[in-house]
Amino acid sequence: MSGVRIVIVGGVAAGASAATRARRLNEQAEIVVFEKGGAASFANCGMPYYVGHIIAERDKLLVMKPDAFGKEMRIDVRVRHEVKRIDREKKCVEVENLETGEKFEQPYDKLILATGARAIVPPIAGLDSTNVFQLRSLEDADAMRGYADEHKPKRAVIVGGGFIGLEAAEALRALDVEVHLVELLPQVMPQLDAEIAGMLIDPLNRHGVRLNLNDGLEGVDVTDGRVTAVTTKSGKRIETDMVLLSIGVRPNVKLAKEAGLELGPMGGIRVNAQMQTSDPDVLAAGDAVEVMHGVTGQTTLIPLAGPASRLGRLAGQFAATGNAPQAHRVLGTAVVKVFDRVVASTGLTEKAAAALRIEARSVMIRRPQHAGYYPGAKEMALKLVYEPGTRRMLGAQAFGEDGVDKRVDILATALYFGATIDDLCGLDLCYAPQFGAAKDPVHIAAQAACNQADGLVDMVQPAEVMRAPEAAGVLLDVRPAKMHAAGAIPGSMNIPLAQLRDRLDEVPDDRPVTVYCKVGQTSYVAARVLTGHGRKNVRSLNGGYSLYREVAENVKK
């Protein structure tokens, strides 16, 4: 393998990682990278912030420039070169120099495909206008930032409420652009459970993002080659000076498909544990590849930079040495900042588990990110999803200000190693009042899950109470009377926890009882009191009145 010729199609996370790993393990290898764009290795996750001048300098996005690949790594990086075809019989690729139009063949011993993903563009006339943008390449970011700097748009429409859409909304608001976000589904961040995604409504509203949920893009008005307005499926017309399409991505598998390589059930390139395709001399990594999900064990598409970089590294190692560790399973762990709030997730959501027919239950807790008595404590919400039969953790989501990423990283690590909710209760986490609590939010969520799994308390979701209030039976608010008077679930009675044991006869015993408090802790204690006195069919409201109010407000909006 010492003089192996390695050709890599595509740079960014997977391709650049493959190239540098191959060089570090094989000094004699000939390594050539062909990148269609103008930069072989750049931080595409930073592009929205570059557009909004939050990242001021373009060079900050460049992880390594093409000349540095050559000087430091002896890797031949050719930007603005597009691979047009793979000839597997001759073991070469056909390449076009996009600057000169020259076409040539490049032979390989090992070929690595890092072709990434392409943006979804709906078949709507006018979306090729000069003020319609995507954010998939550095050239896209240059075009969008250049347009914003030159034309000083007053209004923008973002189509799609996922990662890029929300980050771009923040970036454009930093430029004082009026932002309208159009999302076909009834929530932003469709990959999250509804109650967690609903928590993003407040920061978006507070920072002036105008939300159009449950309402997709229908058409655009074009004048002199520019979109001047968009029309939504509900008939709403929104005037605009620019449009960003962030609907989602599909794996870019054109080269692989035309070369006869096998695709997986999700439409991505099928690879084995060493990142080999159906042709053992052709490897693949990154957003074009189907990966093994760490919870389900099924192949799926997870277009994130972290997995792309890690699996690209393995592909490079195998190409350079003929050997590499087996690819690790991927959990889809992700985090996004939305103005002054953060949301993160790992593993399966409750709705994803339901779609896969995996039995799942969940708990939601709210706790400060560090000891409440220490100044600066900020509340976070943490949802833990688990399988009741095996008690294994399935996933987690969190929302808040500080410490969200820390908790989800802890839970992602535990999930990777197959932790149960009982394991989570025993995690030995560092504690000082500035950083956490003796019972960390992770512990509290795990303990709540164990209580539920052990049958100590049954829980009901706020949405269930809204959909069928009669099924909730008696709604019992165990908060202090002043809090109940300030706001409560319609039709609920109020007996503060401190008085409950002396007023048990006031709680009807001919119907189910749904107990709630502010966030769910006190209601758990109250449910145990009622159960301890022989009451049947007692449930605690998950997330308490705080979550109920948020869900109710988002339903109205």
- pLDDT value at 556 more than 70: no
Residues 407-418 pLDDT 10s:
999 999 999 999
- pLDDT value at 345 more than 70: yes
- Going from the C-alpha of 130 to that of each of 26, 118, 244, 551, the distances in angstroms are 45, 19, 11, 39
Q: Which of 33, 36, 37 minimizes the C-alpha distance to 15?
A: 33
Higher per-residue confidence, 555 vs 530:
530
Specify the 3-state DSSP secondary structure of 523.
helix
- Give pLDDT, residue 46: 86
- pLDDT value at 2 more than 80: no
The average confidence (pLDDT) of the chain is: 93
Q: Which of 36-50, 128-142, 172-186 has the lowest mean pLDDT?
A: 36-50
Class of domain 132-247: alpha beta
Specify the 3-state DSSP secondary structure of 395.
strand
Cβ–Cβ under 8 Å, residues 419 and 334:
no
Q: Where are the domains of the chain?
A: 5-117+250-321, 132-247, 340-453, 458-556
- pLDDT value at 9 more than 80: yes
- pLDDT value at 99 more than 80: yes
Confidence of residue 1 (pLDDT cuts 50, 70, 90): low
The CATH code that applies to domain 5-117+250-321 is: 3.50.50.60
- Give pLDDT, residue 547: 86
45 part of the active site = yes
| CATH topology identical between 132-247 and 458-556 | no
- Give pLDDT, residue 549: 87
Distance CA 259, CA 113 (A): 12
Please state, for a pLDDT cut of 90, what percent of the chain lies above it.
82
- Give me the catalytic one of 45, 92, 430, 517: 45
Superfamily name with CATH number, domain 458-556: Rhodanese-like domain (3.40.250.10)
Superfamily name with CATH number, domain 340-453: FAD/NAD(P)-binding domain (3.50.50.60)
**pTM (predicted TM-score):** 0.92
Residues 23-72 pLDDT 10s:
999 999 999 999 998 887 777 788 899 899 998 888 888 777 777 777 78
- Going from the C-alpha of 161 to that of each of 327, 344, 442, 476, the distances in angstroms are 31, 15, 28, 37
Confidence of residue 464 (pLDDT cuts 50, 70, 90): confident
Residues 361-384 pLDDT 10s:
999 999 998 988 899 999 999 999
- Give pLDDT, residue 57: 87
Higher per-residue confidence, 64 vs 180:
180
- Give pLDDT, residue 461: 86
Q: Which of 105, 160, 100, 151 minimizes the C-alpha distance to 130?
A: 151
**Segment holding 490, helix H or strand E:** none
Residue 20: both structure tokens together: 């540098």
- Give pLDDT, residue 264: 96
- Give pLDDT, residue 63: 72
Q: What is the mean pLDDT of residues 107-121?
A: 95
